[in-house]
Amino acid sequence: MNDQPKTPADALFETFRRMREARTGDGDDRRPPEKPQLGLSRRSKAVLIVVGCLILLVVVALALSSFWTDLLWFGEVGYRGIFLTRIWAPLVVALAAGAVFFAVFYLNLRLARRLSPRIRLAREGSANEADVLELVPTPDRKVTRFILIGSLILAFLFATGTSGGWQEILLFFNRVDFGYVDPIFTRDASFYVYVLPLLRRLLSFCAWMLIITLLGVAVVYLADRAITQRPNGRGLVLAAHVKGHLSVLAAFLLLGKAADFLMQTWELLYSTRGVTSGASYTDVTAQLPVLRLLAIVAVISALILLVNIYYRGWRLPLISVGLLAVMWIGAGQIYPAIIQQYRVSPNEIEVESPYIVHNIKATRVAFGLDDAVTTAFPAEQQLTLADIEQNSATIDNVRLWDPRPLLEAYSQLQEIRLYYSFKDVDIDRYSVDDNYRQIMLSAREMDQSGLQQQAKTWVNQHLTYTHGYGVVASAVNEVRGEGLPAFLVQDIPPQTTTDLQITRPEIYYGEVGNEFVMVKTTANEFDYPKGDENVFATYEGEGGVPISGLLQRIAFTVRFQDLKLLFSEYLTPESRIMYKRTLAERVHAIAPFLRYDGDPYMVIRDDGSLAWIWDAFTTTSRFPYSQPTGDLNYIRNSIKVVIDAYDGTVTFYQIDPDDALATAWGKVYPELLRPGSELPDDLRRHLRYPEDLFSLQADKMTVYHMQDPQTFYNKEDVWQIPNEIYAGEEVAVEPYYVIMGLPGERQEEFILLQPFTPLERNNMVAWMGARMDGDNYGQIVIFDFPKDTLIYGPSQVEARISNDPEISAQITLWSQAGSRVIRGNLLVIPVDDSIMYVEPLFLQAEQSPIPELRRVIVNYGDVVAMEPTLAAALEKIFGAATPPTTSTTEPPTTSTTTPSETTTGATTSTTGVPLPTDTAELITRAESLYEQLIAAQQAGEWGTYGELLDELGLVLEQLAAVSE
């Protein structure tokens, strides 16, 4: 027995000898001992098989039911082709990517197995032929099967990860030019939006595929001992064909890196190195040539790798790759930093000016501001009563009601039943009895969460309470009774004294909805309440999916996991199921690649039906040189979505044929977009400019109204969104809709308006408007105020209102009397070449949740007036007017304002006693009246309380007159 220690070669030799003897049957009987049986019993195996089959059946049933019911739904709305495209397109991409990866990876590993060389091993010091082994790549099926299965698994993972790029591929093949050419590479923006992202995705796919393939091939060669270490331990020994195989794969990786450097040159147009987004001086003069040089060096390194196959050693490839790495760090990082620090920083405005101009132009184009019209606005303070009368359409449509208090009033006065709700209030314009008027409108929707608990049965939730009913509409500037809204449309069924007739008030599709409802059943379908009874009806439309067949009922039962749906006896052959009923579910399911405004709004159509209009946006973050906001740097409101409230029909209209993104999506989904020319006139008249887009544009315009590069660089004229006081809190002024006549225009129009103030200043400097009527839809207008004239801004006017003794005293009195005072939105109202401010004042008693519009505050120049009505406030500022023959300013309802509330400049008390004219005496009188008011309130003597309140109002008016 030899007790000498074995060398590693001896150990390897023994291992392979045993493997050979085991295969040939030579040597001792070394069969491994039989393993103990550790399996399950037959019964346990049967149970596991049954459970596994059941789980598989459930998964398959869920998948099939979801697929089939979605297919039925897309068929109902008329967009089945979109659904099928989303099935086949990612599948084709996944199959193609998986096939390419599998072919490259698997064939390279098989090639590596074939190229692995034979290696002869012999026991040291032995001359026996039996002690010599030839090691050949193991040909058994297990290794081949392992490689095959591993390749399939990796191919599946790659296919799954790559399939998400199917939309980029479809957009690439359907791309449309934007009409904007970048100033550096002179390529249309479509290259950066459609082509470059796809090239980047393909490069990433190829790079990872080559990296994993290279690693896999190296592992195979190592396992087959085709790569060994030299006897001296210095370096590796590779056969020529092994070296060639690895060199080719590495060369392809270097070529991919060269392509990456080239793509980085185009991506400089998104650089953030300079003053603005986009390629800066350093990027163009230093980074760009360096990246191109690096691409050339990477190609040369790849060629050296290939040539080195015919030479021994790895010195040349290592030198070339090392040079590439050094240049990448030195020239690619350090050199541009030096240029930026010592060439650009000392001369930044001079060298960066051309690139600032590129950014300004691209950003204005990307955000739809390039066609904005800027006009000087004199902001003169010379309005007269004649000017007010001449602009009666503007004055008659000043919005006094704010959406938030009005929504509370709607909820308290018009919800009628607990299961109805108003989600929000929309502002629009209508021709009401031939008068162009701005009105506020809200849909009365069914909210099943408001049902009593005992009424939340399956039948009630899915068969009976299926829809909302009608709308409520009121004028923006009218009140009735004790400061309540004057309704133009109200009650159930909808009642109106105007020509706003509603003939189809049912709302099956809206902003509120449950999982599903079924119509045309034998159950009583609730229509609307009538006194102590309910009116029932049967759905007459074509909305919903037929659910007459057994298989369909089973599919929907599985989808909604509701067995009652399967066994319900209320269903008939005509029954239909409505699901995805909310606007968000419905529209997002069809076009999830679009973005949507936060406020879809209801429209009363000429035929008396109801429809929703929802603004959709096309966006991208790949527009060259544009300054991003959040995750986008390009946006267009090119699509209007119309949803019928009764049958759920969804129609997408492309109103901007010049939007390249919308046109490309239309080519990807040919059935999706209809031309804007097909939009019915009764809907076109109600198109609004979306507030979300306008707010984004206004934010951009605070900086990008400056088009001179030096002014832009120094930020000499930056604007900001001003603040106002709303409900006691300081908030930013939100854009608001007005009807007004633009300077130089003959007719009033519907406009979305946003005022501006200088940065960190409170005076008003400009206002921006978006036009909406007729052919002017979408035009942006900006009116610049003179720089040498002080024009009060919103926060300054708010301060003047707060400091007015009469107003502050009245607000304090109401607050201490147990009422909540809500200061509404402060509106800037341009009138001719002047502006005035209007702010409503709401009163909400503690015992009543209904806010009441009790006062209107008007500021013009240095004058502030607070009166019960807008007309009275204007009269106080501009003097009495001759009553017009036709006017919509005053409500057609009886005013409950007392004479003391409408009398100005009073010098006698309510008892006829002359009031003092001394300020100190008036203050003493006011304090005395206030104490009496508190006492009367505590005693519950409300008649006395009202008389004292009138008296105090006269005293405060006299105090204001004396103070003037």
**CA 436 → CA 77, 496, 738, 740, 828, distances in Å?**
35, 17, 12, 11, 20
pTM: 0.83
What pLDDT, on a 0 to 100 scale, did the predictor assign at position 513? 86
For the chain, what is the largest distance between any 2 Cα atoms, rounded to a whole number of angstroms? Answer: 141
**Nearest Cα to 614, choosing from 626, 600, 602, 625?**
600
pLDDT band with cut points at 50, 70 and 90 for residue 881: low
How confident is the model over 704-730, as a mean pLDDT? 92
How confident is the model over 739-753, as a mean pLDDT? 90
pLDDT band with cut points at 50, 70 and 90 for residue 134: very low
* Percent of the chain whose pLDDT exceeds 70: 85
How confident is the model over 375-381, as a mean pLDDT? 89
Q: What is the 3-state secondary structure (H, E, C) of 689-749?
A: CCHHHHHHHHHHHHHHCCCCHHHHHHCCCCEECCEEEECCEEEECCCEEEEECCCCCCCCE
pLDDT band with cut points at 50, 70 and 90 for residue 129: very low
What pLDDT, on a 0 to 100 scale, did the predictor assign at position 956? 78
How confident is the model over 703-708, as a mean pLDDT? 95
pLDDT band with cut points at 50, 70 and 90 for residue 188: very high
Higher pLDDT, 610 or 933: 610
- In DSSP terms, 379 is beta-bridged to none
- In DSSP terms, 373 is beta-bridged to 781
The model's pLDDT over 1-12, given as tens digits with 9 standing for 90+, comes to 445 545 544 555
What pLDDT, on a 0 to 100 scale, did the predictor assign at position 19? 53
Q: List % helix, strand, coil for the chain (3-state, nearest 5).
A: 45, 20, 35
Instruction: Look up tokens 């080719």; give the residue.
Output: 248
Rounded Cα distance between 227 and 241, Å, is: 11
The model's pLDDT over 779-811, given as tens digits with 9 standing for 90+, comes to 999 999 998 888 999 999 999 998 988 898 888
How confident is the model over 585-603, as a mean pLDDT? 96
Rounded Cα distance between 316 and 862, Å, is: 84
pLDDT band with cut points at 50, 70 and 90 for residue 323: confident
pLDDT band with cut points at 50, 70 and 90 for residue 230: low
What pLDDT, on a 0 to 100 scale, did the predictor assign at position 945? 61
The model's pLDDT over 482-521, given as tens digits with 9 standing for 90+, comes to 789 999 999 999 999 999 999 999 999 999 988 899 999 9
Higher pLDDT, 726 or 698: 698
Question: For residue 822, what are the contacts with CB-CB under 8 A and spacing of at least 6?
Answer: 405, 727, 728, 841, 842, 843, 844, 851
Q: Is the model's pLDDT at 535 over the cut of 80?
A: yes
Question: For residue 136, what are the contacts with CB-CB under 8 A and spacing of at least 6?
Answer: 116, 118
**CA 843 → CA 74, 281, 814, 856, 947, distances in Å?**
49, 59, 8, 12, 19
Q: Is the model's pLDDT at 885 over the cut of 50?
A: no
What pLDDT, on a 0 to 100 scale, did the predictor assign at position 144? 83
Of the spans 550-559, 812-821, 887-896, 954-963, which averages the highest pLDDT? 550-559
DSSP string of 401-466, one letter each residue: S-HHHHHHHHHHHH--STTEE----EEEEEEETTEEEEEEEEE-EE-GGGS-GGG--HHIIIIIS-
Rounded Cα distance between 959 and 915, Å, is: 10
- In DSSP terms, 770 is beta-bridged to 752, 780
Average pLDDT, the chain: 86
Q: Helix or strand or coil: residue 946?
A: helix
φ/ψ of residue 365, rounded to 5: -70, -45
φ/ψ of residue 730, rounded to 5: -85, 120
What pLDDT, on a 0 to 100 scale, did the predictor assign at position 133? 44
pLDDT band with cut points at 50, 70 and 90 for residue 127: very low
Instruction: Look up tokens 């406009």; give the residue.
Output: 751
**Nearest Cα to 773, choosing from 744, 826, 736, 737?**
737
* ∠ CA 942-943-949, rounded to 5°: 80
pLDDT band with cut points at 50, 70 and 90 for residue 543: very high
**CA 710 → CA 491, 713, 894, distances in Å?**
60, 5, 60
Rounded Cα distance between 679 and 684, Å, is: 6
Rounded Cα distance between 725 and 798, Å, is: 7
Rounded Cα distance between 892 and 479, Å, is: 9
pLDDT band with cut points at 50, 70 and 90 for residue 235: low
pLDDT band with cut points at 50, 70 and 90 for residue 119: low
DSSP string of 358-385, one letter each residue: HHHHHHHHHTT-TT-EEEE----S---H
What pLDDT, on a 0 to 100 scale, did the predictor assign at position 674? 96
pLDDT band with cut points at 50, 70 and 90 for residue 43: confident
What pLDDT, on a 0 to 100 scale, did the predictor assign at position 939? 58
Report the first-to-last Cα separation within the chain, whole angstroms.
126
Q: Is the model's pLDDT at 899 over the cut of 80?
A: no
- Contact indicator for 220, 242 with CB cutoff of 8 Å: no
The model's pLDDT over 274-310, given as tens digits with 9 standing for 90+, comes to 999 999 999 999 999 999 999 999 999 999 888 888 8
What pLDDT, on a 0 to 100 scale, did the predictor assign at position 533? 87
The model's pLDDT over 135-147, given as tens digits with 9 standing for 90+, comes to 445 555 678 888 8
pLDDT band with cut points at 50, 70 and 90 for residue 15: low
Q: Is the model's pLDDT at 915 over the cut of 80?
A: no
